[in-house]
Amino acid sequence: MADTLTVTDNRTGKTYELAVTDGTINAMDLRKIRVSDDDFGLMAYDPAYKNTASCRSAITYIDGDQGILHYRGYPIEQLAVQSSFLECSYLLLKGELPSPSAMARFRHEVTHHTLVHENTRELLDGFRYDAHPMGMLISTIAALSTFYPEAQNVTNEENRWLQIVRLIGKVPTLAAYAYRHRRGLPYVYPDNELSYSGNFLNMLFKMTERTYVPNPAAERALDVLFILHADHEQNCSTSAMRGVGSSRVDPYSALAAACAALYGPLHGGANEAVVRMLNEIGTKDNIPSFVKRAKEDKNVRLMGFGHRVYKNYDPRAKVIKELAYDVFEALGKNPLIDIAVELERIALEDDYFIQKKLYPNVDFYSGLIYQALGLPMDMYPVLFAIGRTVGWLAQWEEMLRDPEQAISRPRQIYTGPAIRDYVPLSER
């Protein structure tokens, strides 16, 4: 059998052979199907891109039915236990696990790009004390483009790499500064002697002690969470990174756009929404009535449940759920975990969730760990952004190298009025 699709257009009786490649047809081939010579030809209509492959990518593989997630072929379960976030970052960016010398070089590069221009502090001081940290993060990431005008030269590979390590190094600093601004605390400079995650905890929580010593359980938990959030193929915010980056804008501006997409409650903002939901439920007794609302009221969602791709348990949620108990053992139990576990049990036994294949996703348990680490709820999407920064950058780099890619510009089905003449105001 040939790898083709034979399509008969019943409007004209004509038959067309469309090539099937990697389980897809090339949408441009549809344009051959016309009813007349001056016909534009067929397009595919796919709101929210529910069934459209936007690119070829070798970075992350997901099997939504099996609940499988691989970074460059390595199962996420193995990376979460055996790797580190910086090593996974190298893997996502370069495609291979680093040699010891390459790892040392990468760690040195990122560590020595953690400082931000002092003007950034003044920028942050312009925000109200209660500004949402995601709003501050998006703004300061975009502002970084003004400190590095050479970043606009996106066709130069070495220049791209310099901006990539700068962003991986500086995003945690901006995130921590946003948190310290909210608390009215002095900013803490990076400590290059600490690990990536240990330094982030230092910039968040260091007070008057001379040297901050991170809690090992908290440091490891953060590093694993950053690994689990690092990339997830063509999700909403990555599609924003690719789409904005396709105009050849600098990576700081594109990453600010990706961060803005992640901020939404249906995407990275869900981890904050889960904890607010669990607080609203309050006790196990209230779970059945809440689940009933989530099933009947389209405006109420069981946050942290459901996924566009996973129609099985999100493998990241499994790792995070186990990690949560390790953190609680070291830092004290978060009482909301009992409500979360009971809510999961009830939902997974409910026909509505079973039929719609709604399972816990990455956001269902992550907020409980962030809360146990002492972070306020509005910082949770910020933590997601720190981990996902490397995924956005790896996908941006791959897009720029892809000869099939061009500026992202979809078409539309026009539903507006037909042509009509302007009517002067005096005659309306």
- Interface with ligand SDX (CB under 6 A), residue total 20
Compute how many other C-beta atoms are within 10 angstroms of the C-beta atom of residue 412.
Answer: 7
Q: What angle do CA 246, 248, 254 make, to 5 degrees?
A: 75
Q: Kindly tell me which of 188 and 262 has the beta carbon lying closer to ligand SDX.
A: 262
69 forms beta bridges with 62
Is 266 near ligand SDX (CB under 6 A)? yes
Residue in 84, 139, 235, 246 binding ligand SDX, rule: CB under 6 A:
235
Q: For residue 91, what are the β-bridge partners?
A: none
Catalytic residue among 191, 231, 350, 363: 363
Position 306 contacts ligand SDX (CB under 6 A): yes
- 241 lines the binding site for ligand SDX (CB under 6 A): no
Kindly state the smallest distance separating residue 59's Cβ from ligand SDX, in Å.
Answer: 13
Which H, E and C letters describe the chain, residue by residue?
A: CCCEEEEEECCCCEEEEEEEECCEECHHHHHHCCCCCCCCCCCCCCHHHCCCCCCCCCCEEEECCCCEEEECCEEHHHHHHHCCHHHHHHHHHHCCCCCHHHHHHHHHHHHCCCCCCCHHHHHHHCCCCCCCHHHHHHHHHHHHHHHCHHHHCCCCHHHHHHHHHHHHHHHHHHHHHHHHHHHCCCCCCCCCCCCHHHHHHHHHHCCCCCCCCCCHHHHHHHHHHHHHHCCCCCCHHHHHHHHHHCCCCCHHHHHHHHHHHHCCCCCCCHHHHHHHHHHHHCCHHHHHHHHHHHHHCCCCCCCCECCCCCCCCCHHHHHHHHHHHHHHHHHCCCCHHHHHHHHHHHHHCCHHHHHCCCCECCHHHHHHHHHHCCCCHHHHHHHHHHHHHHHHHHHHHHHHHCCCCCCCCCCCCCCCCCCCCCCCHHHC
Q: For ligand SDX, give the closer residue by CB, 163 or 235.
A: 235
Task: Please tell me whether residue 395 binds ligand SDX under the rule CB under 6 A.
Answer: no
Q: Which is nearer to ligand SDX, 34 or 295 (CB)?
A: 295
Q: Which of 79, 358, 382, 386 binds ligand SDX (CB under 6 A)?
A: 358
Closer CB to ligand SDX, 309 or 400, in the complex? 309
Q: Which stretch binds ligand SDX (CB under 6 A): 176-184, 197-205, 211-219, 262-270?
A: 262-270
The yes-or-no answer on residue 307 being catalytic is yes
Q: How many angstroms separate the CA atoms of 232 and 235, rounded?
A: 6
Binding mask 267-286 for ligand SDX (x = CB under 6 A): x--x----------------
**308 lies in the site for ligand SDX, by CB under 6 A:** yes
Residue choice 242, 307, 320, 390 for contact with ligand SDX (CB under 6 A)? 307
Q: Is 350 in the site for ligand SDX (CB under 6 A)?
A: no
Among residues 164, 294, 327, 399, the one that binds ligand SDX under rule CB under 6 A? 294
Minimum Å distance from CB 388 to ligand SDX? 7
Binding flags for ligand SDX, 175-214, as an x/- string (CB under 6 A): ----------------------------------------
Cβ atoms 196, 86 nearer than 8 A:
yes
Query: One of 113, 307, 314, 350 is an active-site residue; which one?
Result: 307
Residue 65 CB, nearest approach to ligand SDX (Å): 14
- For ligand SDX, the binding residue among 79, 303, 324, 327 (CB under 6 A) is 303
CB–CB of 202/187 below 8 Å? no
Segment near ligand SDX (CB under 6 A), from 5-13, 68-76, 124-132, 305-313? 305-313
Of 190 and 360, CB closest to ligand SDX: 360
Contacts of 94 (CB under 8 A, 6+ apart): none
Query: Counting contacts by CB under 6 A, is residue 81 touching ligand SDX?
Result: no
Catalytic residue flag (residue 70): no
**With binding defined as CB under 6 A, does residue 361 bind ligand SDX?**
yes
State the Cα angle at 182 between 177 and 186, rounded to 5°. Answer: 55
| Pick 89 or 195: Cβ nearer ligand SDX | 89
Smallest distance from the beta carbon of 202 to ligand SDX, in angstroms? 27
CB of 408 to ligand SDX, least distance (A): 17
> 402 catalytic, yes or no?
no
Residues binding ligand SDX (CB under 6 A): 232, 235, 266-267, 270, 294, 301-309, 356, 358, 361-363
| Catalytic residue annotation | 267, 307, 363
